[in-house]
Structure 1
Amino acid sequence: MRFDCLSIAGHPIVETPNLDELALRGVRFDRAYSATPSCVPARAALLTGQSQRLNGRVGYQDRVPWNYSATLPGELAKAGYHTQCVGKMHTYPARNLLGFHNIVLHDGYLHHNRNKHSIPVQEHYDEVDDYVQWLRERVPDADMLDLGLDCNASTVARPWHLPEKLHPTNWTVTQSIDFLRRRDPSKPFFLMMSFVRPHPPFDPPQAYLDLYEDLDIPDPVVGDWAQTEFPGQQGLLSTTSEGIVPTRRLKKAMAAYYALITHIDHQIGRFLQVLSEYGERENTIILFTSDHGELLGDHHLFRKTLPYEGSARVPFIVNDAGNHLGLSRGTVCNEVVEMRDIMPSLLEAAGVAIPDTVDGDSVWKLAQKSTLENPSAWRNYLHGEHSSGNNSNHWITNGKEKYIWFSQTGKEQYFDLINDPHELHNAADDEDQQERISYWRSVLIHELEGREEGYSDGQRLIVGCRPVSVLSHVYS
């Protein structure tokens, strides 16, 4: 989910009443990022509290074992919490508990666990996916491919073909509500309610698509640096990461994407009502975020992994209905926060010691009334990256500026996010910005010094080093 797809954040189309209410009665972090913006590395940061350099996931690679000594659910379980995940985990092995007492799994359509010729039987989605088993009990022979949509087909959309209650979004909330019924009432609980949508396939129930399909949807933003020629017209393909997509198809995809977000919002409202019925609403701290965004045609680009705002910047809302943490309700924080900050934040809120392995920080010091006048020290910048072939990139942002370096070509980009929030102008060659660019380049040189890929010798950035998706210490 993109950072800007909240009505409270000023989006002209998207309606998110329940998330808006969480923000109005909580704190919204407007400069939240996923430092390595794709499913696997983002979840590694969330579950370990570690930057990509420590957790070793610097790109997307499936079927690499997850062996971490301390995880968010594991630490909470050791402290006496009843822990459960419902929905997407995207770890390996697929049913790796990662410290949870139980997982009710739906990872969505992942190519690697559908390829029958290349995976062990016990990793095939028929074996590991709880939603698929549940759906087939109700719709014999149903499959995630029934709509003909690929899991990364960011330009194709059509409405969900079954009753809404059978949609994966509804299923995630239904199973989460069932956890409230079955949990151990003598223990506090930690629930990770993990939706696959609005990640493709773009398949909202018809009622939600109807909310948006006939609206005048604003065009995606396109910078003066964006590619405009696409040999072979990649945009005509059903699955693409770049290209000029036919207008009708693009607008339907955008409508469906927004529809999926409103669908999730309404289902979150459903869960909150039941949480109140169980008497736990005032006693529950809620954190809402996303593992990455979706470029959705911005700069003629789609999907994730790239360092631009639509891909790397995410929503991040904290809510404490009982005001146990003394939050400054209704405020917006502009400090840069990241996935690695979730684990230390929730452990601190639960009164659980934060392991030494964690290099994220607790966000409460930014959100509490007691620290608004004398804010605590916070990070000066965030280093993000993603290994992705010729598009492998590193970036630095403080929420006001962004410097990007493409490691395979040496291309640089610089954006003034205050005056150019949509990244419309690449100021890398602007004479009046050379001092700032030089400064941020030196920061990146320092960040990459000593990395095994050889990107920096401490004096300069080195172009063309072979990127890896997983650092070698993960395998040791």
Structure 2
Amino acid sequence: MMNLKYILLLVTILYLNNSYCQPKKDKPNVLIIYTDDHRYSGVHTLGGANVQTPNIDALAKDGVAFENTYLMGAFTGATCVASRAMLLTGTNLFQLQGAGHNIPVANKTIGEALKNEGYNTHIIGKWHQDGNSLKRSFNSGDKIMGKGVYLVDQFRMPFYDWDKAGEFKPKDAYLLVYDANGKIVKQAISKDEKRGPTATEKNGPHTSEVFANEASKYFKNYKNKKPFFMYLAFHAPHDPRQAPQEYKNKYNVDKIELPPSYMAQHPFDNGHMFLRDEELAPWPRTPQISKQELADYYAIITHLDAQIGKVIAALKESGQYENTLIVFSGDSGLAVGNHGLMGKQNVYDEDGIHVPLLFSGNLIKNKGARFKAFTYIHDIFPTICNFTNTTIPSSVSGKSLLPIITNEKAQVRNYTYHAYKQFQRAYRKGDFKLIEYVRAKDINKKDGEFVAGSRVTQLFKITTDPWETQDLSFFPEYKNLLTQMRLEIKIKAEELGDKKENVNGEKYDFWDYY
């Protein structure tokens, strides 16, 4: 009789041999759809607002949604610069180099990480970082925008063709216009080209259409056996809030409902009240003005949604959908009349930092799930790494959300912290959110000394007041909570390294005058 130990050894060898001979499962493709100035409530299924987003809603239905995802903040009025730097590097605001325009070699980008795993990495659309980080992150790309030439016009946008050297010179930018036969052709940018917005859908394709068409072509023509990573960075719904007339007609200005936080004017100086975004509409923000801005915002979102629908349809037609992880997120919130503001240079939720975040597609099993866990944009990078079995670079400080998606954990952090320039700080824990403002006054321009001009505190119970309309900071019953949160926000600032030495170009430290 054969020895029992020998039989067990033989069975083990056969099992291991069979296991190792099995072909490894293909790594999934990854598609990041990143939209610009797209607040959480700018997706109908998430915020319940009267904005039509059937295709993004479908992504939520076919995936999972995070209800408390935030931009950590920015040290520039162009908050999208910091947002994209955090997305691409998986690092927090205080680990960026300056405002985030340059990504040091020490910070591995998500494109680099996936390239090292054998992915073909491709970019379409908006890029705000340096050329070196662009070329080391992607194998290819098309219709790059945002590299220095900008005409403020969705229908007359300067684009660049892919340059593997990462050098995008103004002379190489061009426009896409319709010729006499309605065909899309390239057109050189004349020296006397006027800044917009002046064009319409009769002049040329909208940026959202251009980017969606490029993504669709990429999927249709992709024959490589390697998995792909596409970073599809739309410009919409960033201003100018232009959309084809068909989409404008969907929103009757008189029937637009203003949100609870609508105000004609912000009640105090938040430190950065006058800049380009706030000059898009006159003061005070009358109901009619805010309704018009909101109607235009909804129209460009619905047009963007239609283009995203085309992208997903092309992905399905290519046969790649079943093995593609789709990540959808906005880069920042946007006020559009909330609290009397128009831009995103603040730390209110919908007005500045609250964004949609969806993980969708065939790889998501618990479809339709919603999670309330606190999350940041820079958590997307390590989450994708976990999904694709990619090693998370040591430079990444974000936290993977995969344990939440798989219901292994309820949360990966118990608070969020936010900063906008030298003027604003916010701390969210549990149901409550503390916002502190410091406005400095320059008293000696010769030696650069500053003193605080004003200080304001706000306390909101976000779970019952998501639009931040009722300041609780002066109510006696919240005195102890306010004191505790003020102590904690300073501790978190210290832990995160929120100090002037970590932020290039700031003239003073918020905490010097708190």
- TM-score bracket, normalised by the shorter chain, equals 0.7 to 0.9
Q: Does 1:245 align with 2:285?
A: yes
Counterpart position of 2:463: 418
Q: What secondary structure is seen at the aligned counterpart in 2 of 1:441? A: helix
Superposition deviation, residue 405 in structure 1: 1.7
Distance (Å, rounded) in 2 between the aligned partners of 1:365 and 1:356 = 19
Structure 1 unaligned spans of 5+: 115-121, 150-157, 456-460, 466-476
Deviations 1:47-73 (A, max 9, x none): 01111122245xx575x5654431101
Q: Does 1:436 align with 2:462?
A: no
TM-score (norm. length: structure 1): 0.80
Shift of 1:407: 3.8
Match among 36, 44, 60 for residue 23 of structure 1: 60
Asked whether the equivalents of residues 278 and 341 of structure 2 are also in contact (C-alpha less than 8 Å), the reply is no
Root-mean-square deviation over aligned CA pairs: 3.4
Instruction: Tell me by how many angstroms 1:295 deviates.
Output: 0.5
In the other structure, the counterpart of 1:462 is: 511
Aligned to 1:138: 185
Q: How does 1:116-127 map to 2 (within 5 A)?
A: 125-127=170-172
Equivalent of 2:122, from 84, 87, 104? 84
Alignment of 1:260-409 (within 5 A): 260-310=300-350, 311-321=352-362, 324-326=363-365, 328-368=366-406, 370-371=407-408, 375=409, 377-387=411-421, 392-398=423-429, 400-408=431-439, 409=454
Query: Match for residue 201 of structure 1?
Result: 240
2:83 partner amino acid: A
Deviation for aligned residue 1:320 = 2.6
Kindly provide the amino acid, as one letter, of the partner of residue 315 in structure 1: P
Please tell me whether residue 185 in structure 1 is matched to residue 224 in structure 2: yes
Letter in 1 for 2:511: I
What is the one-letter code of the residue matched to 1:45?
Answer: M
Distance change (3 Å), C-alpha of 1:385 and 1:451: closer
Kindly, what percent of the aligned residue pairs are identical?
23
The answer to whether the 8 Å contact 1:325/1:349 transfers is: no
Report Cα offsets for 1:209-268 as digits up to 9, x if no partner: 1101355111243379963599xx989998258842344443222111101111111111
How many residues are paired up? 427
Partner SS state of residue 4, structure 1: helix
Equivalent residues of 1:31, 1:399 under 8 A apart: no
Q: Deviations over 1:275-294 (max 9, x none)?
A: 11110111111110011011
**TM-score between both structures, scaled by the size of structure 2:** 0.75
Single out whichever of 294-303 and 376-385 deviates more from structure 2: 376-385
Please say which of residues 379-388 and 87-96 is displaced more in the overlay.
87-96
The CA deviation at 1:97 is 2.6
Matched residue type, 2:246: A
Unmatched runs of 5 consecutive residues or more in structure 2: 1-37, 153-166, 179-183, 440-453, 503-509
Distance 1:109 1:80 in 2: 28
More strand by share: 2
* 1:454 to partner: Cα distance: 7.7
Instruction: Specify which of 64, 76, 92 is matched with residue 51 of structure 1.
Output: 92
Q: CA 1:419–1:250 in structure 2 vs 1: closer, same or farther (change >3 Å)?
A: closer
Give the Cα–Cα distance (whole angstroms) in 1 for the partners of residues 398 and 151 of structure 2.
31
SS in 2 for 1:427: coil
Deviation string for 1:15-52 (max 9, x for gaps)?
Answer: 11111111112111111111115111111110011111
Structure 2: which amino acid aligns with 1:138? V
